[in-house]
Amino acid sequence: MDFSQNNLFGYIEDLQELTIIERPVRRSLKTPEEIERLTVDEELNDIERAVYLLSSGQDIQGTSVVANLPVLMQQNPAETLRRVLPKIREVLHVAGVEMQLTAAVAFLTIQQEESVSIHTYSHSFLHIILQNLEHRDAGVSNAWLETLLAVIEVLPKETIRHEILNPLVSKAQLSQTLQSRLVSCKILGKLANKFETHIIKREILPLVKSLCQDVEYEVRSCMCRQLEHIAQGIGTELTKNVVLPELVELARDEGSSVRLAAFETLVNLLEMFDADDRSQTVLPLVKSFCEKSFKVDESILVSLSFHLGKLCNGLYGIFTPEQHLRFLEFYKKLCTLGLQQENGHNDNQIQLQTLEQEKKYISVRKNCAYNFPAMIVFVDPKNFHLELYSTFFCLCHDPEVPVRYTMAIGLYEVAKLLDSGVYVIHKELVTLLQDDSLEVLDALISHLPEILELMTTGGENSGSESKLLTVPDLIPALTTAEQRAATSLKWRTHEKLLQKYACLPHIISSDQIYYRFLHRMLTIIMTNNVLPVQKAAARTLCVYLRYNRKQEQRHEVIQKLIEQLGQGKSYWNRLRFLDTCEFIMELFSKSFFCKYFFLPVLELTHDPVANVRMKLCYLLPKVKSTLKVPTDKHLLQQLELCIRKLLCQEKDKDVLTIVKRTVLELDRMEISVDAFQKRFYENDLLDQEKEREEQLLLEMEQLEKEKQQNEGRSTSISDKIFEKKRRDSKTSSTLSKSISLSVSGSSSSASTSKEGKKSKLVRSQSFSTQALHPKYGNIDKCSKYVFFEWIPLLRSNSGYPL
């Protein structure tokens, strides 16, 4: 920037040209008179202050008192009822919307907290609630109605009958306002399960019938939606004789919202109707709805598509084969609604759909995706490929994200229903894994381990040897999904995906994990900037290492962890090394950690960064818990030496404080001994199980090498024999038989020599497909007190209070 004199004067002139609008400060302050009115005597108690503010305070002060009413009821209920509540009742007559809404919530809170008895509540609060039900503001009226409906649940029958039901007879008349009749509908729905059947039949059902035939469609629709609650209160017989005829009539109503309410209520009450009612009354109505939905009444399409699965399965027993096929075709048509164009028309002849109509069609297809598992049950999973696969394909490839998202959520249910036929949807699994939308991917990976397990174990190819062939293109799809999540800004999806990828050792081979996923996890730990993602990658890497079946690969990964993380140049990598060591202690045996990671961890006591040393100090109790005496006595000495150095040489005050606390914790800890002790038998047994499984991995690797060598040896012997037989074709048959016998004998003896190891190999292979037991994550406690030698040093030098 040029700061010469000419330019500087130019900047000043530009600033002078700016017009600054000044607002007087006085306008934002209160005048002395206003301050005087808002001032409250400090010597007033809570009750007196509340009465004063309600009588002569500002509206905002009165609202504050009403909001604080539950607290006053808890502190001094008698005085609050005697002095504060009457004032609130007076103020509510002229109160604004905000105070009315606050009062409705406060009254409900008092009932829920049971600050007073229900008798006192009904005597003091119920009348105020009923008075404000017909407030001119619809929002306020609904708030008081919600409070009343909640209070009805706890009111005694007599109170409900005298205070609510009896006045309701007049409130539900045509002469009353629309708002009054709407409120009456909702109250009737709530009262249906509070009285005996004969009272409902005599006093409530006449009102219900009257409101179902109201001149206003809003009232008819509202009452229709309450018929479900009323039916549950009056039982099956009255529902058939009273509710069903009303529903049939409302289903033919001129108002579309009334017809929609009747249809949805009919579906929800389907279980209460017998087979005759379903076949003679419900089914014709449903068929009429389906036929009119495309031609006359598209408003019902969204609701019809949402309830279609429940409807088809509810009417399944009464469908003829022709009706079954018709409803299935109707569902298929809904699945492609808005995607098809009429044949023989060019683009100019096709009428452009409105935005509202497009949204409606998307909602219909989304609802079809939601109902897809129910439709599999409807057609029988055995007929899936023939009847529904093409529809499944279309929904998984739908151009709209909400539809594919819903399919991804339901894919696990689909896989469970298909069972042995799950191999049919392998391609769609890969498609959804490669979807452009991260929302779809996030929905899919919620149940990814379960889906992959079904994919690899379902059907005839259920063995571990053939599992790799059952999901083609799975590995590229999984790597693509991870890379897309990594390059996005949605780190939670990336973290979730990495956590779910820990299932892969049970799905694909150890070599595939090593070459395609394991090194990728290490890269994420070292390069990603999001801590939860790094930790998820670290834990998944440890799981991969846990199930790796080649010792050479395990050693290589361990070496990289130590060199690139534990001894890395970045302190951030060294911190992640400590996180990884925590997962190692959780997943592996104590002996494994002590063998490979104990000393590299202790080396970080000399780390130049205080944060690394501090994190290490927090980790030391877990590190000590991996030791066993007398086997690990030399490691215990190393740990003591490192603690001494930290106590003597640490200069950072925060780290030194943590060191002193850690020393005391280590002193109280116990160290395991090699022999089992009764108190810690379970923990020691779990650790021994981990050691056994790790040993099985080594044995399995050795047996596989021997197997490959034997196969190679037998192949070379067979080649030599074949060549000898070809050259000596004229030799006697006796000699040929002896040669063949010797060959068969050698192979049989080789197979016999492997019988002793066969059981171990089987156990090893079964181990490779087992899930890790959640209890293995517990850090074992120890069984023998060992007092550290540095405690006297701590007492004498540190001055730390003991």
User: What are the extents of the domains in the chain?
Assistant: 418-460+469-673, 674-711
Quote the tokens at residue 424.
């049919």
Strand 784-785 and strand 670-673: the pairing is: antiparallel
Confidence (pLDDT) at 672: 65
Residue 415: closest CA among 467, 454, 443, 447: 454
Report the alpha-carbon distance of residue 314 to residue 90 in Å, rounded.
54
Q: Which residues pair with 672 in a beta bridge?
A: 628
Length of the chain measured in residues: 802
Report the alpha-carbon distance of residue 358 to residue 640 in Å, rounded.
72
Confidence (pLDDT) at 174: 86
The CA distances from residue 507 to 187, 471, 553, 718, 802, in Å, are 56, 10, 19, 36, 53
Edge to edge, the sheet with strand 670-673 lists 628-629, 670-673, 784-785
Q: How large is the C-alpha radius of gyration of the chain? A: 39
Q: What is the mean pLDDT of each run of 10 residues along the chain (802 residues)?
A: 52 54 54 68 80 83 92 92 92 91 95 92 93 90 94 92 89 88 92 86 91 94 94 89 93 91 93 90 90 75 92 90 93 90 45 76 96 96 94 96 97 94 92 95 96 78 44 88 94 97 93 94 96 97 93 94 94 96 94 93 94 94 88 90 90 92 87 57 70 78 74 61 52 41 40 44 41 37 38 45 38
Scanning the structure block, which residue is given the tokens 């540095």?
790
Please name the residues in contact with 359: beta carbons below 8 A apart, sequence gap of 6 or more. none
Confidence (pLDDT) at 233: 86
Q: For 270-288, b where at least 16 C-beta lie within 10 A, e where not — what string?
A: bebbeeebbbebbbebbee
Scanning the structure block, which residue is given the tokens 């003829």?
320
Question: Dmax over Cα atoms in the chain, in whole Å?
Answer: 132
> H or E segment at 784?
strand 784-785
Report the alpha-carbon distance of residue 481 to residue 463 in Å, rounded.
27
Q: What DSSP character marks residue 164?
A: I
Q: What are phi and psi of 465, to 5 degrees?
A: -75, -35
Amino acid at 729: S
Distance spanning both ends of the chain, measured CA to CA = 63
Q: What DSSP character marks residue 542?
A: H
pTM for the complete prediction?
A: 0.77
Confidence (pLDDT) at 27: 52
Amino acid at 622: K
Confidence (pLDDT) at 262: 94
In contact, 614 and 578? CB cutoff 8 Å: no
In contact, 346 and 323? CB cutoff 8 Å: no
Residues 418-460+469-673, CATH architecture: Alpha Horseshoe (1.25)
Q: Which residues pair with 784 in a beta bridge?
A: 671
Amino acid at 578: L
